Structures are given as C-alpha cells and as structure tokens.
Structure 1
Amino acid sequence: MELVLVVIALAIGIGAGIPLGIKLKEKKDRERLASVEEKAKELLDKAKEEAERLRQEAKIEAREEAYRYKEKIDQEYEERQRKLAEQEKRLLEQESRLSEKESSLERRSEQIERRAEELDRKEKALKQHEVELEQEKQKIKALAEAQQKELEKIAQLTHEEAKEIVLKKAEEEAREEAARMLVRIETEAKEEANRRAREILALAISRCATEMVTEKAVSVVPLPSEDMKGRIIGREGRNIRALEAATGVDLIIDDTPEVVVLSGFNPLRREVARIALERLISDGRIHPARIEEVVKKVEEELDVTIKEIGERAAFDVGVYGLSPELLRLLGKLKYRTSYSQNVLQHSIEVAYLCGVMAGELGLDVKKAKRAGLLHDIGKAVDQEMEGPHALIGAELAKKYGEDEEIVNAIAAHHEDVPPESILAILVQAADAVSGARPGARKELLESYIKRLETLEKVATSFPGVQKAYAIQAGREIRVIVDSHKIGDAEAVHLSRDIAKKIEKELTYPGQIKVTVIRETRAVEYAR
C-alpha cells in the first residue's frame, strides 16, 4: 500500500516539472541566438574592413604597375630613337662613301680613256714597225738564198746533203755524250742506292736487339729422388706407356741420376709432356687414368697460354686488330724453331726491322710491322699442310681477312711469288737481316764445313780462276783470277756467273757476296 502511494507521488511530480524544463531551454536558446548574432555582426564588420584594406592595396599596386609600364614605354621609345639616329648616321656615311666611289670611278674612266688613246697610237706604230720588219725579212731571205747558192757552188753539195751530214755528225756526238751521261748517272745512282740501303739497314739493325733461343729436340725434367723413376714407369711399364700414348713423346729413363729426358720433334707435344710430368711428380698420384686427366687439362691450359703469347707479341710490336685464330697461330710460333732461331722471336725482330726501314722510307709503319710479324705464320701449321710455309702463311692471312698487300708480302718473302710492292721487298730484306746476322742461326760443324767447301768448289769450277777463299762464316767468297786469261770486263761477268751458280746449287741463309780480284803486275828492270 505504501509502495503504491510512493509511485503515485512520483508521477505527479514529473508531470508538474515538464513545462518548467521547456521554459528554461527556450531561454537558453534565445541567449545563444543573441550571442551568435553578435558574433556574426563582428565578423561582418571585420570582413568589411578587410575588403576596404584590400581595395586600397589594389589601387596602390595598380598605380605602381601603371608607373612601371610608363617607364618601360619611355625606355623603348628612347631606344628606338637611338637606333634611328644610328641608322641615319650610317646612311649618311654610306652616302659619303658612294659619292667618293663615284668620283673615283669618274677618275678611273678618264684614265682608261687616255690609256685607250695611247694604245691606239702604239698599235698604229706597231703595225708600221711590222711592215718595216717584213721588208727587212724579205731582204735577208734574198741574201740567204744568194749565199746558199754561192756555198753550194763552192762545196759542190746541195743544201739537203750538207744538212744531212751536219745532223748525222751532231747525232753521233749526242749519242756518245748520252751514253757517257747514262753510265755516270747509273753509277752514281747505284752508289747512292747502296749507301742509302746500307744506312737504313745499319739503323734498323742498331735499333733492334733481341734474344735468341737455341734449338733443342729434348726436354729434361728433374726428379726429387731416384724412387720416382719406378713410379713413372709403373707396374709392367703401364704408366710410361700411357704417358707416351697421351703426349706422343718418348720418355728416356736411363742411368742419369734424378733426371727424365723427353724426346720429340714436336715442341708443343714436348711442352705438354713436360708440364704434365712435372704436375704428376708434384702430385704423387701417377696412374693411367690420372695421366690422361692431367695431359688433357695441360693441353687446354696450353691452348689458352698460346693465345695469350700471340696477343702479347702483337701488343709488344704494336699490331692491333688481328684475327683470334691468327693470334693463336702466332703464339704457336714460340714453340717452333728454324736453324736454332726461335720463330716467334724472329718474327718480332722482322716486324721491328720492317717498321724502322718503312719509317726511313716514308712508308706505312703499322702495315710494315704487321707484314713482318705475320711473314712466317705458315710455319705454325707447315707440318700439317703441304707446300712452302710462305704460301701457306699467305693463304692463312687471306682467309682471316688481311690486306692483299700484306698477303703478297708474306707469299713473296722467299720469292715463291713475285713481289708486288715495296712492302714485300722490305719483308725480304728484314727477314734476311734477322736470319743472316752472325749468331742468329746455328748449324752443325760438319754441315758448316761442307757448305764452305762446296762454296769454294763452285767458285774454282770456272776457267781462269786460280784460288777461292770463303770468309766471314761463308757470307763472302773472294775469287783470285789469272790476269792474263781474265780481263776487267770478263771479271764482272765472272762474278755474276759465280753468284748465279751459287744461287742455283747451294742452300744458305741470307746472302753471299762474290768478289773477283784481278791483279795486274807491270815489271821493269833498271839497268
């Protein structure tokens, strides 16, 4: 009952409070509205002030812009006025110059007129002089005819016969004089050419100093101990047979202490065998499978090394742009010798000599070096192909894109084909200098003595020869003849005949000088 009464009382209180709350809210809304209107009024006033300020600033900026524009127009006006004044000044100067030119032209015209009048006078005088000369010429002609008739009567010869006699005599004298001049000029030219050639060759030789390598057909591999020989031979000789089969080189194991000798005429195979054997000895594992593996690896490495050698040789000489295959063949020449002379070193030397001589003669130095470096490239494969190494090298050079002049120089350096340029002659000369100079090439004592004896025998086979002596290691032969049987003119022919026979019958490096000596003795006794 009490609870019911409490609920009723609460309901009555709430119903009376609702109108009062509404009134309070309306009052607050009115106060807030008044505050908002006041703030809006303030903002409106501030906006008007800001607009007025901006308007004033815009007016000021407009005035300043107008002032600047006016100044710019004034400057442009002044600049135009200045340019017009300058153009007016130039026009006045041009008018002045034109007037001066007109005056000058008038003066020149007057001078030309005076000269024309003077030339007319001279022309008339010249015509008169020509008439007088023609009259004098006729008189002289008449006198000459009369004189000729008188001479014909005295000499009892016609004019044509006398003229023919005089011309024939003059022709004989001219021929004799021309022959003497020709002999003198030819002698002087030969002397000058020989002197110049000697200077160029001496200069080329003095500027080229290279080391030479002695030819060998064997390589020696040192061993750490005598026990290693048995390991190299292997059980029942299987290791040594495997090594010889893989490399193509003979292994000689004899009583020489701690040494194995590799024998073979192919220097590349001998080098492969040497490197492979040294590696097997240092490794210690020596059996057929290991031998084949090491030999194969050494061959691959040597192929790379050969190309690097060719590239280094070309770089040292200053030859660029060679085909990779030519560089590889060039590197193989390091393992090739000719008369104990290393072919790669010989090729480098020939390249230097060609370059020096080409520079002295005003030729292309780079092309000369290129031809000299490649001249013996055929020796890298001459054991694999048939034919002279010069022609093989020319074919290789042509195959790998070398110039026709270089190809001919390679082919002609041993006169297998005729030389077609000065470059080919230079390569021949440089090859002869490199191969023929003392110490460059080596030959056995027996063959050396036999060559000298054959040389002297060829010289003494001609009639009239008393003695012959081979000197300067066979580079020169001096022939003494009987002065009663051989005259001066015959001595010249004899030297040429001996040289031709030597070229035909002997094989030798470089060239051989033939000197024929004819002694004339005049003896008288005073009594």
Structure 2
Amino acid sequence: MTETVIVVIVGVAALVVGIIAGKFLFAKNVQGKVEEAERQAKKVVADAQTAAENLKKEKLLEAKEKFVQLKAEHDKEVLEKNKRVNDTESRIKQKEQSINQKIENLDKQAKDNEAIKENLNRQIEVVNLKRTELEKHQEEHIRRLEKIAGLTAEEAKAQLVESLRQEAQSRALALQQEIIDDAKQKANKEARKIIIQSIQRTAAEQAIENSITVFNLESDEIKGQIIGREGRNIRAIEAATGVDLIVDDTPEAIVLSSFDPLRREIARLSLQRLVSDGRIHPARIEEIVDKTRKQIEEQVMEIGERTVIELGIHGLHKELVRIVGKMRFRSSYGQNLLMHSREVANLCGIMAAELGMNPKLAKRAGLLHDIGKVPDEETELSHALLGMKLAEKYGENPAVVNAIGAHHDEVEMQYVIAPIIQACDAISGARPGARREIMQQYLQRIKDLENLALGYPGVEKAYAIQAGRELRVIVEADKVTDVDSDKLSFEIAQKIQTEMTYPGQIKVTVIREKRAVNVAR
C-alpha cells in the first residue's frame, strides 16, 4: 500500500515536474519567437525607411530634370522670339531705307521733270515760231504756184483727186476681173474634182428593168388551167391585178405585161401560188391576189425601213418610209427608181461632205427627191411639186422640201443643198448604163460620133469610149501640129454639140504622137 502510494506520489511528482518543465520550455520558445518577430519588424521598418529615402531621392531627381528641361525649352522659345523680333526689325529698317531711297529718287525725278518741262516749253515756243514762219512761206509759195499755174489750190486738189480716183478705179476693175477669172477657174476645177470623187466613191446598180416579166411553167398543160373555161381564169387574173397575160406559142412561159412593176410583181407571186396550189378558179384567184397584195405592202414597208437604215437616215415619217419602199417597184426610163434615189442620196452625202455641209441632210433630200413619182392617187402636179407637198405635209426640213421642189427648176432654189440635189440627179440619170436606150440607136450614135471625127483632115483613127461619153481622136503627126490639135479638138466638140443629140456631155481628146523608129543591126 505504502509502495503504491509512493509510486503514485512519485508519478504525480514526475508529472508535475514534466508539466513545469513543459511550461518553461514553451515560455522560452514563445519569448524566442517574440524576439524574432521584433527583429523582423525592425528590419521591415528599416527597409521601408530605406525605400522611402530612395524614392524621395528619385522624385527629387525627376523634378530637377523636369525643371531643367522646361527651363531649356523656355530659353529656346525666348531665343526664337528674340530672333523673330530682330528679323522683323531688320526688315522694317530695310523697308524704311528703301522707302527713303524711293522718296529721294522721286524728288530727284520730279526736279528732272520740271527741268524737262521747262525745256519742252521753250522748244514748243521755238516750234510755234517756226511753224508760223513756215505757214507764211507756204502761203507765199501757194500764191506763187497759183499765179504760175493759173489754178487755185482747191482746183488743183480736185484735179489731182479725180486723176487718182480714175487710176484707182481702173486698177480696181482690172484686179476685180483677174480675181473673178481666177475664182471661176478654181471653182470649175474644184467642182469637177468633187463630182469625180463623188462618182468614183459611189457604187451604182447597172441593171435595167423592162416592162414585161416572163413567168416560167413546168409544162404547157398548166397554160390551159390558167386560161380556164372560156378564158374566165385569165380574165379574173387580169381584172384582179391590172396586168396583161400574154399566152402565145412560147414553150413553158407566160408573159406578164404592165408598165407598173408593182402590179407585175403581185401578178407573178399570185400565179406562182396558184400554180403551186393547183386550185385555179375566179374566187381562189381573188383570194390569192388579195393576200399577195397585203404581203407586198408589208414588203414595201420593210424595203423602205431597210433603205433608210442603210443610208443612216433617222426620224423619217412612216408614210414617207412606205413611199420609199414603193419606189423599189417603179422605174424611170428603165432605171429603177429606188436604186436611182439611193445613188443620188450617196452622191449628195459625199458631195456635201466635200463642201463642208451637212451630209445627213443632203442624203435625206437625195433619197426623197423623186417621191412624187409614186403617188397613191393620180394628180396633175409634176412629180417635183407633188414630192415637195408630200415632204412638207409630213414635216420634213424646209431645206429638204425646197430641194425636192427645185431639182427640176420648177421653184426657186432657196438653200445651198438644192443645186447639189439637182447635180446628183443629173449625174445618176446621165451615167452610162443608167437608162435604157435601143441598141440600134445606141450603136448608130457611136458610129456617127466616130465618123464625125474621121471627116476632118489629118485624123487617122477615132474611138468612142466610155459608152459614148468620150471621143479619142488620133491624128497624123506629120499633118497636124500641136496648135492644130487644140483647134481640132474645139471644132469637133462644137460640131458634136450642134449636130448630135446625146445625154450628158462628151469629152473630145485629140492625141498627136511623133515616133522615130530605127533598127540597130
């Protein structure tokens, strides 16, 4: 028991000693940590003070640098302002010096002007004195001349003026005549040049239309169907188309005869449809002719529109376009009217361009100049006047209207393009091959032309070329001189003009050639 107690007491004592020792060790450990924290705090404070000192020094340095920079900029600005002020002062001083110099020069010039003025006044006085003396001498001289000549000054002056006027008038007349002759020569030369260029640059149709159309058949049996019982079919065709059908012994052919190409074309197309269809009787004939006529009217409008487009003519009234298309089925002396009008339009455009005029307006007038030849109704007016009225009715340009009416001199020409239209119309109608002429008459005229030249002495050969538009005469060099050649050419031309009838003009060319031939052996 006692031992147990002792053990317990010893254990308790040991426990108390352990607790006391632990507290002592804990207290010592806590004191060490407090001291360590105090040291770290002191170190942090010292570091903060050091950093604050460094930051303070940096800010002071930055402030000093900024101050130095601002001071340098201020000093620089002050220097620049001072420099500008000095420059301004220098310029002002220079201007003052220049102004002072100019004032001095002006004062000097004014003094010089005064001296010059005084000198001029003295000279003027001297001149006036001399002029007075000269006038006295002149009057004295005139009195002496009048006494010697027996004429007053006014009379002598009048005679002198009259003689000068007469001399000037005679010289002016001579110069005027010279200018007129030169202008005529140049005008003729330029006119020929322009006409030749226009003709050369225009391609013309050479085909000539006849007054009949031959309708070919596959066999002669169809002729009976076309004639019909007791000729009723052929009478119906003729009544519906206005064309004469000639059925003769010509194999596999029927001749359609009419002066109107439009009617012949309607009859030809109608016959072609009737033959293809096979049903030929009066009712069918009237139906086919009516359809064909409507088709031709559409074709006429199409031809007119295509023509104005190809010629570059715009804004033409539809009725005038239709009339232009109708000209395709008309002819004048065998020359197709539309081809003739197109040719005239092209010639007019070229000629107007060469003369510096409006080529489009000239083309328009050239195309429309013969529209009076295809009227919808018969009238007593000539085709030129009728065409003029139609053009005026459908709002054409006054120059075009006047050119249409004046191209055969039936009204007065009021615009410059009118004579151009007239000349181009004559060129188109008179060119070789344009209009029909009986072959025998043509050959006889060519032969008469050559025989006329061969009748002159010294003429060796004569050739009519260019469809009778030029006669070339070859003479013998031994019998005809150069002077005689000129005379012969004139005489032949005069004789042709007085004895022969021909369209257009004929050029006579006399050729004289001297050949010397030897043979070297």
Q: TM-score if structure 2 supplies the norm length?
A: 0.66
Equivalent of residue 187 in structure 2, options 181, 184, 193: 193
**SS of 1:256 mapped into structure 2:** coil
Aligned pairs (5 A) from 1:33-432: 110=103, 125-381=119-375, 384-432=378-426
**SS of 2:214 mapped into structure 1:** strand
Q: 1:136 to 1:355 in 2, by over 3 A?
A: farther
State the shift of 1:322 in Å.
0.6
CA distance in 2, matches of 1:301, 1:115: 101
State the shift of 1:159 in Å.
2.0
Q: Which amino acid aligns with 1:342?
A: N
**SS of 2:196 mapped into structure 1:** helix
Q: 1:318 to 1:507 in 2, by over 3 A?
A: farther
Deviates more, 1:301-310 or 1:371-380: 371-380
Per-residue CA distance 1:313-372 (angstroms, 9 max, x = gap): 111111111111101000111111112211111111111111111111111111111111
Q: Which amino acid aligns with 1:332?
A: K
Per-residue CA distance 1:443-483 (angstroms, 9 max, x = gap): 3368779999xx9xxxxxxxxxxxxxx99878799xxxxxx
Q: 1:297 to 1:420 in 2, by over 3 A?
A: same
Q: 1:257 to 1:173 in 2, by over 3 A?
A: same
State the shift of 1:288 in Å.
0.8
Q: 1:106 to 1:306 in 2, by over 3 A?
A: farther
Per-residue CA distance 1:416-464 (angstroms, 9 max, x = gap): 1111111112111211221122222233368779999xx9xxxxxxxxx
**SS of 2:255 mapped into structure 1:** strand
Match of 2:9 in 1: none
State the shift of 1:293 in Å.
0.7
Per-residue CA distance 1:265-301 (angstroms, 9 max, x = gap): 1111111001101111111111111111110000000
Q: Which amino acid aligns with 2:149?
A: A
State the shift of 1:180 in Å.
1.3
Q: 1:122 to 1:345 in 2, by over 3 A?
A: farther
Query: Structure 2: which 5+ residue stretches go unaligned?
Result: 1-80, 450-463, 472-490, 509-521
Alignment check: 8 A CA contact 1:212 1:345 kept = no
CA distance in 2, matches of 1:344, 1:113: 92
CA distance in 2, matches of 1:513, 1:124: 87
Larger Rg: 2
CA distance in 1, matches of 2:208, 2:100: 93
Per-residue CA distance 1:200-219 (angstroms, 9 max, x = gap): 11111111012133131111
**SS of 1:260 mapped into structure 2:** strand
Alignment check: 8 A CA contact 1:214 1:340 kept = yes
State the shift of 1:167 in Å.
2.4
Alignment check: 8 A CA contact 2:432 2:466 kept = no
CA distance in 1, matches of 2:229, 2:131: 122
Q: TM-score if structure 1 supplies the norm length?
A: 0.65
Q: Which amino acid aligns with 2:127?
A: L
CA distance in 1, matches of 2:442, 2:236: 40
Q: 1:192 to 1:229 in 2, by over 3 A?
A: same
Query: Structure 1: which 5+ residue stretches go unaligned?
Result: 1-88, 456-469, 478-494, 516-527
**SS of 1:328 mapped into structure 2:** helix
Deviates more, 1:415-424 or 1:124-133: 124-133
Alignment check: 8 A CA contact 1:215 1:339 kept = no
State the shift of 1:385 in Å.
2.2
CA distance in 2, matches of 1:152, 1:359: 67
CA distance in 1, matches of 2:396, 2:108: 73
Q: Does 1:435 align with 2:429?
A: yes
Q: 1:157 to 1:283 in 2, by over 3 A?
A: same
Question: Percent identity over the alignment?
Answer: 48
CA distance in 1, matches of 2:432, 2:239: 40
Match of 1:22 in 2: none
Q: Report the RMSD for the aligned CA atoms in angstroms.
A: 4.1
State the shift of 1:378 in Å.
1.1
Alignment check: 8 A CA contact 1:382 1:389 kept = no
Alignment check: 8 A CA contact 1:219 1:262 kept = yes
Alignment check: 8 A CA contact 1:239 1:287 kept = yes
Alignment check: 8 A CA contact 1:355 1:366 kept = yes
Alignment check: 8 A CA contact 1:358 1:368 kept = yes
Aligned pairs (5 A) from 1:471-486: none
